[in-house]
Every structure is written in C-alpha cells, then in structure tokens.
Amino acid sequence: MKEKKKPVNQWMVQIPPIPVILMNGEMENVDEYMEIITKLRKAKYQVKVAESLKEYCTDLIQEIKYRFNIAMSEIVRLAS
C-alpha cells in the first residue's frame, strides 16, 4: 500500500523588535543588543586566548635563551 504524504501546515510568526533602553539612554532592539553582547563575549575570550599564547611564547623564549646560554658556555669551555 502506498503511503500518502500529508500536507504540513507551517506558520511563520514574526516578532517585532523589542526596544530596550541601554545604560547610556539609547534605544536598541533586543536582537542588536544580544548581537553586541555575543561579540563582546567572543572578544573577551579571544583576549584570554591571546594572553595565554603570549605567556606560552614568553616562557618558550626564556627556555630558548637558557638553552642557548648553556650551549654557548659549553662551546667556550671546549674552545679553551
């Protein structure tokens, strides 16, 4: 027996922008406000990642300097 496809009724409801008053008194709608908040959170996360990467690179540079100094002192010792 062949299955009959039943039509599906879909309704699209558009909600008008909900105005909010920001701390500086400007009017914004909630969607724009949430987009700004999301971008701010992403930026804060990226700053944390960048700071972590900076710390890692600084530690790596210190390790390279340390090993270089050891190698140079060994070269000087062997050259003497």
What is the rounded CA–CA span in Å between residue 37 and residue 22? 12
Q: Which stretches does DSSP call E strand in the chain?
A: 19-21, 27-29
Q: What is the reported pTM? A: 0.52
Q: Are 2 and 9 in contact (CB under 8 A)?
A: no
The two counts, helices (H) then strands (E), for the chain are: 1, 2
pLDDT at 67 over 80: yes
Spell out the domain ranges in the chain. 19-79
What is the rounded CA–CA span in Å between residue 62 and residue 75? 20
- Confidence class of residue 37 from pLDDT cuts 50, 70 and 90? confident
3-state SS, residue 8: coil
